[in-house]
Amino acid sequence: MSLSGVEAFGARLRRLRHAAGLTQELLAHSAGLSTNAVSQLERGLRRHPYPHTLGALADALGLDGAERAAFVARPAPPDSSAGSGSSSTLADGSPGADTSLIGRDDEAKSLVSRLTGVAGGRLLTLTGPGGVGKTRLAGDLAARMRSAFADGVVFVPLASLTDPSLVVPTIARAVGLREEAQTHPGELLSEHLRDKSLLLVLDNCEHLLAAAPRIAELLSVCPGLRILATSRSRLGVRGERAYPVEPLAVPEAGAATDVDRVSNAPAVQLFLARAQDADPEFALTPDNVEEIAEISRRLSGLPLALEVAAARVRFLGSTQLLARLDEVMGLRGARDLPERQRTLRATLDWSHDLLSSAEQVLFHRLAVFAGGFDLEAAEAVSAGGVLTPDVVLASLENLWEQALVRTAAVSGPAGVRYGMLEPVRQYALERLADSGEEDGARARHAAWYLTLAERVEPELSGSEQTGWLEVLEAEHGNFRAALAQTLRRTEDDTALRLAVALRLFWYVRGHLQEGRRWLQEALTACPSAAPPLRGAALEALGHIAVKQGDIAAAESSYAQALALARTSASTPATAAATGGLAVVALWTGAHERATQLSRQSIALWRQTDNASGLASALNAAGLVEIQRGRHRDAIVLLEEGLAVSKAAGDQGLTAAHLNKLGWCSLEDGHLDQAARSFGDALARFARLGEQWLAADCLDGLARVSLAQGRPTRAARLWGAADAQCVVIGATTLPLDPSVYECLTSRARDEMGEDAFAEAWAQGAALSPDRVLGEALAGIAIEGAE
């Protein structure tokens, strides 16, 4: 090769078209371009076609081998100094340069610093799944660094190559060299770049990893050369620095979906930009903001998926687009994208076809996990057939290398958690269904998570309950998937066992409506389950119904649970159902009946060795005595319950007793002691994630503040308490509604209606952390022991 001139691109295209016997119209149709585009290219009016345009033309012309490599090497721009020995600067023609880079400006600045700095390394590989925007980011980086390298930036598209041995010749042509029979292309390229200050951008390397050692050799002999590569996996050579390109941030689930908040999410910004390309009148409005936020979340912020979906918004509208999202993902995107990127499916097909057969099987089976998994779960659910545990580990590592599986560091014994982007998982699920293995994989998945739930359930009343609650929260998506699967099986009681095992988790973490629905569906799906199991489910339904303020439903559930408990002569079950009915009586104002039932429950629990059951009964009985105004009797019950709870290490019940003791202190006028008790309980509830009882602590602290002459603080705390109940779908009605109304009216009178409403709204808008900080300000508490 030499640095002599290269045949003008337009003339070359015309010559190849004639050789193929094609008109401009036929070539345009085969390549997915307009006839005008082909005409402009041949006439030299478009001198810098995109790499995907070159690939499409090469496909239509039937080019392969060296001829294809020569064709897809992008022509140098008019101001190229190739004739004087410099490489061409191609940043202005890099992919995506015609659209703004959204959501990655800080990221791009950091990467520019790495590529141009001394300590940044000379080979930087942008890794990530197909469609995450690696090529687009690389193009932007190339544009930003045009002036940072004396000999320019050269963008080399490699997607169309199938033979790793063509990588070096393709790079050589991209920098302006031409073949010489007597000299190996690698030697000429090394000699040419030895004294150059140049950035090479090698795009789409994942299927050409065998050429990575040649790239490393090139760096070793060319000290002024730096390489930016894009690949779904690392190149695997010494000196490489890998940078994982993450999907764009999406709006937080469960957060307020106002237009300003949602529009700040980069994923939504990209969706809107591409939607407005299709429909300039499209805008984010209060009517569609929730749908657009959910679309971006469902697509996991994956840029290609967002762009494909946004292109359909004019045709479908946001409502139908969300409803038909999976169908939309199979439709074609922009025609000027490479064929393998015109649909998300094609992009994932590309990645899938690079996997070994064992890796493909593992990829399919892992799709049954919803919301991530750890290594132990992956081995248990995925092993079988060709996948022995050691093969699972090795294959999982390669799926991670190929960016089809993601990792995240987590606390706890697992250390690392794995998962897939949701569009990738949906693709893998379809492949799993096609393989005929779906039923078996889902059955193993359900069995694993039933075992986990039943193993963890006893721990939720012990000293490690906070950590175990976090484990269950992390696996909540998998529990949902397991429940949905097992509800289809009416021949066994797996669904009901799983729902009962999760009931404490649902209580504490505020998944009230969801827990109630699963329990009801499981009871219906498992009509022949044993009485103790059905009774436990009914008792759980009663507990949730009380929190939701549905007292009639709670009474019905507890009554059925009591009947089943007596049938099976189970003392613990009888004690639990009796205690539940005591709480129902309390909420209906039947205080005498509540006292009688709560004392019966205590007596029954004393016959067992269940410390948490006894503590719960003592707590309920103490609350009954508080409502009756018998504070000394309440304190005796609550102090015993507190001692039992602490001995058992049950943080939730310890907090519940401290909360009730706070109410006793408040009623007796001991404001400082009340504040300490409420604050201690609140801190413990916050650690557990228990919001309903935390709201009761906030109500208590608000009443303390009002009694101390601080009505503004009281209004803010009441607002925060009300908001916490609303978030989890719990009742906001206190046990003493008339007293509550009197106190809030007093604060409103002291502050004025407008100031009270403003303070209430400010409290309601506080984040949980801010609520905790404000509520505990100035209170000296012991904290959890």
Tell me: do 266 and 159 sit in the same domain: no
Share of the chain above pLDDT 70, in %: 88
Q: Using one digit for the tens of pLDDT, what is the confidence trace for 87-100?
A: 333 333 355 444 56
d(CA 293, CA 288): 9
265 in the same domain as 367: no
Q: What is the pLDDT of residue 386?
A: 82
Average pLDDT estimate for 190-194? 88
CA distance 646 to 680: 13
- Distance between CA atoms of 549 and 695, rounded to whole angstroms? 14
In a domain, 783, yes or no: no
Least confident window among 171-180, 362-371, 425-434:
171-180
CATH number of the domain at 431, please. Answer: 1.10.10.10
Between these two residues, 693 and 420, which has the higher pLDDT value? 693
Residue 55: is its pLDDT beyond 80? no
What is the pLDDT at residue 32?
A: 65
Does pLDDT of 77 surpass 70?
no
Q: Cα-flanking dihedrals φ and ψ of residue 118, to 5°?
A: -70, -40
> DSSP letter string over 94-125?
STTTTS---S-HHHHHHHHHHHHSSTT-SEEE
393: tokens are 């580990």
458 in a structural domain: no
Q: For 553-583, how does the pLDDT look when each residue is reduced to its tens digit (9 = 90+)? A: 999 999 999 999 999 899 999 999 999 999 9
Please tell me the least confidently modeled range out of 29-43, 359-373, 572-586.
Answer: 29-43
Which of 218, 244, 270 represents a domain boundary (last residue)?
A: 244
255-259, 449-453, 684-688, range with the lowest pLDDT: 255-259
Q: For residue 232, give both structure tokens.
A: 């779904």
Domain count across the chain:
5
> Do 124 and 237 have their domain in common?
yes
What number is the average pLDDT over the span 351-379?
Answer: 92
Whether the pLDDT of residue 104 is over 70: the answer is yes
Residue 615, CA distances (Å) to 169, 461, 542, 606, 641 in order: 77, 11, 18, 10, 5
String of b and e for 750-782 (b: at least 16 CB within 10 Å)?
bbeeeebebbbeebbebeeeebbebbbeebebe
Q: Summarize pLDDT for 645-667 with one digit per residue, the tens.
A: 999 999 999 999 999 999 999 99
Cα end-to-end span (Å), the chain: 76
Average pLDDT rounded to a whole number, residues 59-67 = 77
DSSP, residue by residue, 448-515: HHHHHHHHHGGGGGSTTHHHHHHHHHHTHHHHHHHHHHHTT-TTSSHHHHHHHHTHHHHHHHT-HHHH
User: Stretch 545-552: mean pLDDT, rounded?
Assistant: 95
Higher pLDDT, 670 or 252: 670
645 and 627: one domain? yes
> Residues near 752 by Cβ (< 8 Å), separated by ≥ 6?
none
Residue 96: the pLDDT is: 44
Does residue 730 share a domain with residue 621?
Answer: no
Same domain, 378 and 236: no
Range of the domain at 418: 355-436
- Helix ranges (H only) for 73-211 are 105-116, 134-144, 167-174, 185-193
Distance CA 115, CA 260 (A): 35
Task: For residues 122 and 126, give the distance between their C-alpha atoms in angstroms, rounded to a whole number.
Answer: 13
Regarding whether 127 and 24 lie in a shared domain, the answer is: yes
Give the pairing of strands 406-409 and 416-419. Answer: antiparallel
* 671 and 688 assigned to the same domain: no
Complete edge-to-edge strand list for the sheet that includes strand 225-231: 153-157, 198-203, 225-231, 123-127, 240-244
Q: Domain check: are 233 and 280 in the same one?
A: no
Final residue before a domain boundary, out of 320, 342, 364: 342
For residues 100 and 143, membership in a common domain is answered with yes
Whole-angstrom Cα distance, residue 6 to residue 13?
13
Q: Whats the size of the chain, residue-wise?
A: 785
Tell me how far apart the alpha carbons of residues 73 and 529 are, in angstroms, rounded to a whole number: 69
Asked whether residue 191 falls in the same domain as residue 133, the answer is yes
- Residues facing 406 on adjacent strands: 419
In a domain, 446, yes or no: no
Structure tokens at 249: 């941030």
Residues 275-284 pLDDT 10s = 887 778 888 8
